[in-house]
Chain A
Amino acid sequence: MKETAKLQIKIIKIDLIILSVLIIISFVFLENPLIWAKGYIFGGLIGILNFMLLAKTMEKSVTMHPAKARSYASVHYFIRYAIVGVVIIIALKADYLNALAVIIGLLLIKFIILFTNLFNNKEYYKRIFKRKGER
């Protein structure tokens, strides 16, 4: 966690802030707030742990031989994929969790990455309309 520690902490902090805002919104506006809140907490925590696992995998894979790194990253991707699968099955089966809240919690960290690193960059919008040779 040495090279990516700052980045991870920044993204996780934003994730936790947005999760708490979502939980507060669910308590104010929704009929069954506890089910939504549990879903946000469950999905959000698994999303954060998945992101940390991804960071660990990436840090380790760059120190390996390229051929070994390829298979290592792919195998670890499928392990994370299986974890997400189990979480979604639990969310769909369990009555005490809202499936939509779990899915939002799981995917929230990915949207945060998009909004903090890509959509806030003006150059990105300018480059969309430029041809490949002009860049």
Chain B
Amino acid sequence: MEPITGKALVLACSAIGAGLAMIAGIGPGIGQGYAAGKGAEGVGRQPEAQGDIVRTMLLGAAVAETTGIYGLIIALILLFANPLVGLLG
């Protein structure tokens, strides 16, 4: 059996790290769904406030997405442009 090289170890750990970073994408999905459900309830209770509800929800949802995108960026950098492999020399 061949010994594990430093590069292989870094790549394997990067893949695990990428997988862990992708967990960040689940939270905003659940949160946005919950917000949309509550927004629909609010509009059902007070239809004249639909404009305000949608505007507030839009701003909140757009900001909430950011953290998910951060996780995605980290995961994809670890997979496709790994800066750690270059440090091995």
Contact = CB atoms under 8 A, between A and B. Distances in A.
A114 B78 CA distance: 28
A78 B29 contact: yes
B1 interface: no
A88 B58 contact: no
Interface string A85-127: 1001100110000010001001101100110010000000000
A54 B53 CA distance: 14
A3 B51 contact: yes
Interface of A: 3-4, 7, 51, 54-55, 57-59, 61-67, 69-74, 77-78, 80-81, 84-85, 88-89, 92-93, 99, 103, 106-107, 109-110, 113-114, 117
Q: Is the interface of A mostly helix, strand, loop or mixed?
A: helix
Contact of A51 (B32, B62, B69): B62
A15 B2 CA distance: 53
Contact of B40 (A57, A63, A114): A63
Given A66-B38, A74-B32, A78-B29, 8 more contacts: A58-B57, A58-B61, A69-B33, A69-B37, A70-B33, A88-B73, A89-B80, A110-B63
B32 A62 contact: no
